Each structure stands twice: as structure tokens, then as C-alpha cells.
Amino acid sequence: MRPDVLNPLFIDTDALDGVGPKLKKPLAKLGLTRVRDLAYHLPERFVTRRVIESLEDAAEGENVIIALTPTEHRPARNNRGPYRVFAQDSAGNICNLTYFGRASFTAKKQLPVGEKRWVAGKLDRYGDMLQIVHPDHVEKESSANIGRMCEPVYGLSEGLTQPRIAGLVQQALERLPELPGWIEPTQFDKEGWPAWRDALQLSHKSENSNARDRLAYDELLANSLALMLVRADNRSRKGQPLQGDGGLRGKLQLSYSLTGAQARSVREIEGDLAQEAPMLRLLQGDVGAGKTVVALYAMLIANEAGKQAALLAPTEILARQHFDTLRQMATPTGVEVAILTGRDKGKARESILMGLLDGSIDIVVGTHAIFQDTVNYKDLGLVVIDEQHRFGVAQRLQLASKGKRTPHTLAMTATPIPRTLTLAQYGEMDVSRLDEMPPGRQPIDTRVIAQDRMEDVIAGVARHVASGQQAYWVCPMVNESEVADLAAAEARYAVLKERFGDDVVLVHGQLKPELKDAAMERFASGQAKLLVATTVIEVGVDVPAATLMVIEQAERFGLAQLHQLRGRVGRGSEKSVCLLLRGSGLSETGRRRLALMRETQDGFRIAEEDLELRGGGELLGTRQSGDTPFRVANLEQITRLLPAAHADARLLMERDRGLASGRGQAARTLLYLFERDWGVQLLRGG
């Protein structure tokens, strides 16, 4: 049970003044559903403004506060462009206040013609006109909000404004309880950190790296502790030792022999499976390193020992692909391989459920449908989790621990994360690394090209397709709900469709599963030549005949992501090409990151160097980098603070495994605060 002291933090946001159904939606889009989330919605940066008298006093790009009088409202032409309000300063200089989308309603209300208003915002130039796009504040009096010279800037979603969210954050901060100290006292004193509540309040007020560090440390500590609890729990559980006689593995008829790294990994897995304590192992190997066959060996060992094995894939598409590959490879062994996803219904589903229950199915591949309550196994001995880095291992383990005896777990990931992050993400799992590629891989010719050479790129794709080969075209999509990105992807598809007709298909996250699969199948079967996609193809899709990849706005992707995307090509014997299109105005770091992609194909090196490139300098901003399980700690903080947090957690576990002491209790509170309470639940169970 969550400690009572945290209750005020876990109240729904609609308990706050001014939050109704209308605000809840944009808040939820940012993941802000409870008071706690608002308190931890840390500013992306702070803006400092200067009060100016005349528009001529400001430098372009400067944040200013100025008195302006609207002279004219000019609505968008044919509902497309922005809504503009012309306004003049006291000397008669004109500028433009520009609003996109629904923000125009605000403009109409806030800026009556002929009435002076104080406006705060960033002054830019558009053509030969000065403009402020979406002013941060518009006030009648200079005293109100506008008086604030240093102000936090928060991540927003459509329907929210800076003052709105700042007001809500403020309300959340007023509700913060005082919490007990969970940080090791000597560590805490040495760093001179503020108490928890102060740290949150300070972090919203100004750039205070000490306070932000403390909050990051909390998160890292919670994570380390939870992973250690999982590990300890796992050690104390009873599994079943599985010994294979090699009978099934011996029947395989692979057209190749295992690489040294694959053979070593299989041996490591075999050793783990033979133990009574359930295996908890991560198989880490770059895209194309050959993880599937290692998984098959592991599953066949389980089958040889008379147990069933399950492979969990993150998406429907991947589940089907794994199913096809595994069934084909396993044919000579005679084991029964089945697939079960959320989409299997009726009779087909019934018969699979029956097969799992009576043991006639040896290997089942599927999405998380395979762990639903209605699915029962005769004797599940091994769970393989593919590409699960997005979910967090521990939660998956919860799923996996169905039944009296805990099955062995093998997690597979293609994300080559730096060693420091491996620790953060997977705690103390055992790791097998496939650090050797199967022979005969051709290097991928990677080039960086300016996005405005689009015509050339399309012509290149046309030549490629005309020569009978296939291609991927990837559009960025930071967030599946991002309207602008989706629109851009669809617009690109429309353009390409004009040129390539039925040869091009589109796949993105908002598409109905049936349509998505149909499109994927047309591409995989070679009927369609060009696949336009958002990053849904990131994980696992295997079409060896696709030898060209175009990635738009490549600078917006994480390098690990680019690396994974690029790994979709270069799978066959043909030479493959990857074109990274870059936007204009690339930062120095951005330039170097893309250069690194051109230079190497070693995923581990890319991961390490990307961490270094991004690590420095970007203290604020780029918070939710997507490739870490953290929301508060950024990459630089992870690298710097994780070792201490980890040691702190270790010490606590050694002294007080049951988290029963005063500090232990405080640590429980911490786990709940960061919703790593699955750690606590394990404590109770064990």
C-alpha cells in the first residue's frame, strides 16, 4: 500500500483549481494526470526578458516585454496560414503578433484594436516584418505576470499555455508534503543537497543544478533499488532446472554454423537453465547479429527438458515475423510452434489455448496476449522477451512470473546501450553480448544529404526502384500523437504516391492494425517497392530485398534509433545505401552526430559516443530522450550520478534487505513516489 503521506501527490489533476475536462486532455497528452506529475514537470529552460520601450531597442531573437497597441486583426487566408495581429509601439513601429491554429481565439479576446497591452515574448523577424509568435503573456497592466523577468519555460501540448501550466505547477507545489529522507546521510551532506520539497520548488524557480541533481539522484536511486529488489526476489524464487539432451537441437538443419559469440551465448544460457534459480539474462546484440537463432536454441533446450517456451514480441508484425522464421527453422525438429496475438479470436484462439494447456504446443510466439489471465500453460519453462527495452524488464518479469514455479527469462535487445546505461536499465541482470556479426555482411554506404535536395533524392529512389530493388522512406515521429509529424508523413506519402503510384505503401502508428499489416505484407512480399513509415519499422522487420533507406530530418532521431533504422537494410547480399537527410541550421553537435553515423556501423561505439556528444552542455532540455527509463534524470546526470546512487542502493540492501528500518521505510516511500513500487510488492510477496 502506498504510504499515506504520498496521497496528496497522487490526487487527480482535476482536484486543482481551473482543471476541467477541457484542460485534462492536453495535460494527459504530456503524461500529467496527477499532482505528482505536475510537480515533476520540470522546466525545459528559463527565459530572461528585458523591458523595452521601442521595438528598435531589441536585438532579433531577444525575449522582451513591451507595450503595444493593436491596430488591425488579419485572420488566416483560406483557413490555412496564421492569424496575425498588427500592433505598434509608442513610437509607431509596427510588429506582428502571430497565432497558429486555435490560439487565434485567444488573440481575438486578448488584443482589442486600439487598446494598449503589455506583451512578453520572443521578437523575431519574418520577411521584413518584426513578429512575436504566440506571445508568452499579454496583460493589461505591466504589474501582473508580466513583471516576472525570469520565468520557467515548460513543455506544452496544444491547448496549454505557459501561464496556464505555470499556474497549475504552482498549485501542485503548494500541495507538496514533507517526506522523510531516503538518501544516505553522508552522501546527502557531502553534496549539500536541498530537502526533497525544497529541491522541487527550487527547480521550478530558477536554474539550480544542485536541486535538479538531487531530484535526478532520487530517481536513479529508486530505479537501482527496484532492480535490486527484483534481482533479490528472483534469487529467492524456485524455478526448475532444465537440462536438455541435445536431441532437438541436433535435428536442426541450419544453412550456417553459429558464430563464436552465438555459441558462447547459447552455452551461457544453457548453464543458467540448468540451475534451480530462474535465469534472468539479457542477450544484447546489434540488429542482424543473429539473436533469433540463439533464442531458438534456448527454447529447444526447454522443449528437450519437456517444458514449453514462449516468445513475447512487442508488436503484432514482429510476432508474425518471428513465428514464420521460427516455425520454418524448427520444422526438422518436429516441435509444435504456434502464434497467439490479441487478434486471434474464436475457434482458432480456442484451439491454441487448448494446445497450451494440454502441452501439445511446445513453443508459442505472440504479443502480450500470451500472458493474459485466460491463457494457461501446461508447463511453461522459459520466456523469451524480444526487443523489450521500451517496457522495462522488471514489469515484464512480473508478467512472466505466472504459475507456481518461476520460468526462466531471456530478454533480448538490439539497442546497444552504453555500459553505464545497461546498469541503469537492467540493473544486475546477467548479460550475453553478441559482439560478432555473422560473416558476409556488406557495409552500408551511409551519406548525409541536405533535405532541400529532395528532388535528387526522389530521383535516386526512382532509379533504385526501377532497377527492381526496394526501399524504406522514414519520416520522423517524435510522439505518436504529434499531429504535425503525422501530417508531414502523410504529405510525403502523397508526393511519393504521385510519382510511384501503387508501388508505395504507408505505415504509421495511427493506422488500423489490419491496414498496417496489409501494407507491411505488400512490402515484405515485394509487391510494393517503397515503404513510407514512421518509426514503427524500428524494431525487427526483416526484408532482405530492401537495400535503400531514406531518413528524413535525421537530426531529430536519437543515434541509437538511427542505427536501428539503418539496420533494416544491409540484410541481403546486395550493397545497401542509407541516406540521412538533414534540415538546415544543424548545430555543431548535430553535425557531429550524423558524421558519426557515416563513419561507423558499430552499434556499441555509436551508443558510447552519442552519450558523450549529448552528455555535455545539454543540462536542461532534451530530458525525455526516449532511450532511458528516466523522466527526471538526463543522460549527463545518469552518467555522473548513477554510480553513487547504485552504491547507495546496494548499501541499503545489505543493511536492511526488508526495507524495515527508518531509512528503509523512507526508501519505500521513494519507490512509490517514482512508481517503482513493483519492487516493494516483491518484498511483500517474498
Stretches 137-145, 198-206, 539-547, 673-681: which one binds Mg ion (CB under 5 A)? 539-547
Query: Could you give the CA distance from residue 341 to residue 110 in angstroms, rounded to a whole number?
Result: 52
Nearer to ligand ADP among residue 293 and residue 659 (C-beta): 293
Binding mask 523-562 for ligand ADP (x = CB under 6 A): -------------------x--------------------
Stretches 112-120, 148-156, 172-180, 533-541: which one binds Mg ion (CB under 5 A)? 533-541
Percent helix, percent strand, percent coil in the chain, to nearest 5 = 45, 20, 35
Q: Kindly tell me the burial class for residue 1, based on how many C-beta atoms sit within 10 Å of its own C-beta (0-12, 13-18, 19 or more).
A: exposed
Q: Is 287 in the site for ligand ADP (CB under 6 A)?
A: yes
Phi, psi of 365 (to 5 degrees): -115, 140
Binding residue for ligand ADP (CB under 6 A) from 56, 256, 267, 502? 256
Query: Could you give the CA distance from residue 324 to residue 403 in angstroms, rounded to a whole number?
Result: 28
Scan for cell 541533481, then name that residue. Answer: 213
Query: Could you give the CA distance from residue 350 to residue 338 in angstroms, rounded to a whole number?
Result: 12
Binding mask 482-521 for Mg ion (x = CB under 5 A): ----------------------------------------
Q: What is the DSSP letter of 207?
A: -
Phi, psi of 309 (to 5 degrees): -130, 150
Query: Could you give the CA distance from residue 585 to residue 250 in angstroms, rounded to a whole number?
Result: 57
Q: Is 244 in the site for ligand ADP (CB under 6 A)?
A: no
Binding residue for Mg ion (CB under 5 A) from 239, 366, 416, 540? 540
Nearer to Mg ion among residue 255 and residue 374 (C-beta): 255
Nearer to Mg ion among residue 355 and residue 540 (C-beta): 540
Nearer to Mg ion among residue 239 and residue 314 (C-beta): 314
Residue 65 near residue 51 (C-beta atoms within 8 A): yes
Nearer to ligand ADP among residue 185 and residue 439 (C-beta): 439
Query: Could you give the CA distance from residue 190 to residue 506 in angstroms, rounded to a whole number?
Result: 55
Nearer to ligand ADP among residue 293 and residue 477 (C-beta): 293
Stretches 84-92, 255-263, 356-364, 390-398: which one binds ligand ADP (CB under 6 A)? 255-263
Nearer to ligand ADP among residue 156 and residue 329 (C-beta): 329
Element (H, E) at 263: helix 260-273
Binding residue for ligand ADP (CB under 6 A) from 177, 392, 438, 460? 438
Scan for cell 514464420, then name that residue. Answer: 324
Q: Smallest gap, in angstroms, from Cβ of residue 262 to ligand ADP?
A: 6
Q: Smallest gap, in angstroms, from Cβ of residue 258 to ligand ADP?
A: 5
Contacts of 48 (CB under 8 A, 6+ apart): 63, 149, 150
Stretches 67-75, 494-502, 534-542, 575-583: which one binds Mg ion (CB under 5 A)? 534-542
* Complete DSSP assignment for 503-520: GEEEE-TTS-HHHHHHHH
Q: What is the DSSP letter of 370?
A: G
Q: Is 414 in the site for ligand ADP (CB under 6 A)?
A: yes
Binding site for Mg ion (CB under 5 A): 540
Binding site for ligand ADP (CB under 6 A): 256, 258-259, 262, 285, 287-293, 414, 438, 542
